[in-house]
Amino acid sequence: MIGIAPLRVFVHVASCGNIRDAATRLHRTPSAISMTLKQFETDLGAPLFESDRKNRLTKLGEEVFETARDVLREHDQALERIEAVAAGRHGRLRLASVPSVAAELLPHLLADFLDTRPGLTVELIDTDSGGVQSLVADGTVELGIAAPPKDASDLHFTTLFQDPFRLVCRSDHPLAERRTPLHWSDLAGMRIIGNDAAEAIDAAACRALIAGSALKARSVISLLALVRAGAGVTLLPRLATVSLAADLTALPMADPLAVRKVGVILRDGRSPSPVCKAVLARLEQATANVLSKGQDVS
């Protein structure tokens, strides 16, 4: 059966008008070109050129030339795209992230990443840790950035960095002037505004504090608005507090347990696409210098 190679040879000879130049362009000897061409004509059962000097096509040659040129163009394009996909230079990545990372870390990283890869499409969904986990689990997104999943499902978690919690209060709050890390006892008697991230802190004293809190909110925007309005104080990961307005203050906590682990979540047993791999590498590189790291598998 006729393959791509004879078509390519024929098209080159036809457009060069002679075998010698076509041979040069294809990095072959004229004899190789001659033989391939002859074989092609034999396969077709009819001559493609009018004379031995390959400078005039037969009617058949003209028709085959049109078709062959199109085939080659499409073939080469498609193959280039396949290679680009495989090399991670082309493709689509859907990723989900918790809002803090989506807002503080990813914008710059992704912009940077896409600048050097014109064929890439990235779709970013931001939702809470639970949402990220289920989006990865059901295959809606390939890559998730969130806290480690609690239940050992078919998800694979790798820690990117650990993010220490900070107490967020109004800048006119009595604690705001403290220059030393806070202890849980410092928070006694205050109204703590609960949130999902803080509830995951693995310190008994902290859990007790939050358990007693009457107020809870979900988004960072709401939490900060409540704090600003004097409704209480709250605990947020450092990353969520980096762009804090002047009327609010974020204070470090002394307890080393007051951290949230942030990492990437992949579906177990699925090897990541090249684009995904590239983003992972970029993420690891970007977070290499951020606090303590580690590796967990669940």
Residues of the shown chain interacting with its own copies in the complex, contacts defined by CB under 8 A: 1-5, 44-47, 50, 58-60, 63-64, 67-68, 70-71, 74-75, 78-79, 81-83, 85-87, 91, 142, 269-274, 276
- Which residue among 15, 25, 35, 212 contacts DNA (CB under 7 A)? 35
- Which residue among 10, 12, 15, 32 contacts DNA (CB under 7 A)? 32
38-57 residues near DNA, rule: CB under 7 A? 38-39, 51-54
CB closer to its own copies, 11 vs 206: 11
Share in percent of the chain as helix, strand, coil (round to 5): 45, 20, 35
The reply on whether position 3 binds DNA by CB under 7 A is yes
CB closer to DNA, 39 vs 222: 39
Candidate segments 35-43, 139-147, 185-193, 226-234, binder of DNA by CB under 7 A: 35-43
User: Which residues have a Cβ under 8 Å from the Cβ of 166 and sit 6 or more positions away?
Assistant: 235, 236, 237, 238, 241, 250, 251, 252, 253
Q: What is the DSSP string of 25-70?
A: HHTS-HHHHHHHHHHHHHHHTS-SBSSSSTTSB-HHHHHHHHHHHH
- Which residue among 10, 11, 12, 36 contacts DNA (CB under 7 A)? 36
Return d(Cα 39, Cα 6) in angstroms, integer. 8
Candidate segments 37-45, 127-135, 201-209, 216-224, binder of DNA by CB under 7 A: 37-45
Please, what is the minimum distance in Å from the beta carbon of residue 134 to its own copies? 19
Please, what is the minimum distance in Å from the beta carbon of residue 8 to DNA? 10
Q: Is 140 left (phi over 0), alpha (psi -120 to 50) or beta?
A: alpha
# binding residues, DNA (CB under 7 A): 21
Please, what is the minimum distance in Å from the beta carbon of residue 91 to its own copies? 6
CB closer to its own copies, 217 vs 276: 276
CB closer to DNA, 54 vs 94: 54
User: Which residues have a Cβ under 8 Å from the Cβ of 202 and sit 6 or more positions away?
Assistant: 257
Q: What does DSSP assign to residue 148?
A: P
CB closer to its own copies, 4 vs 214: 4
CB closer to DNA, 13 vs 192: 13
The reply on whether position 155 binds DNA by CB under 7 A is no
113-132 residues near DNA, rule: CB under 7 A? none
CB closer to DNA, 37 vs 283: 37
Scan for tokens 């080393």, then name that residue: 256
Return d(Cα 167, Cα 78) in angstroms, integer. 55
Alpha carbon 264 to its chain centroid, in Å, reads 10
Per-residue 3-state assignment (H helix, E strand, C coil) for 90-139: EEEEEEEECHHHHHHCHHHHHHHHHHCCCEEEEEEEECCHHHHHHHHHCC
Contacting residues toward DNA, per CB under 7 A: 3, 5, 18-20, 27-32, 34-39, 51-54
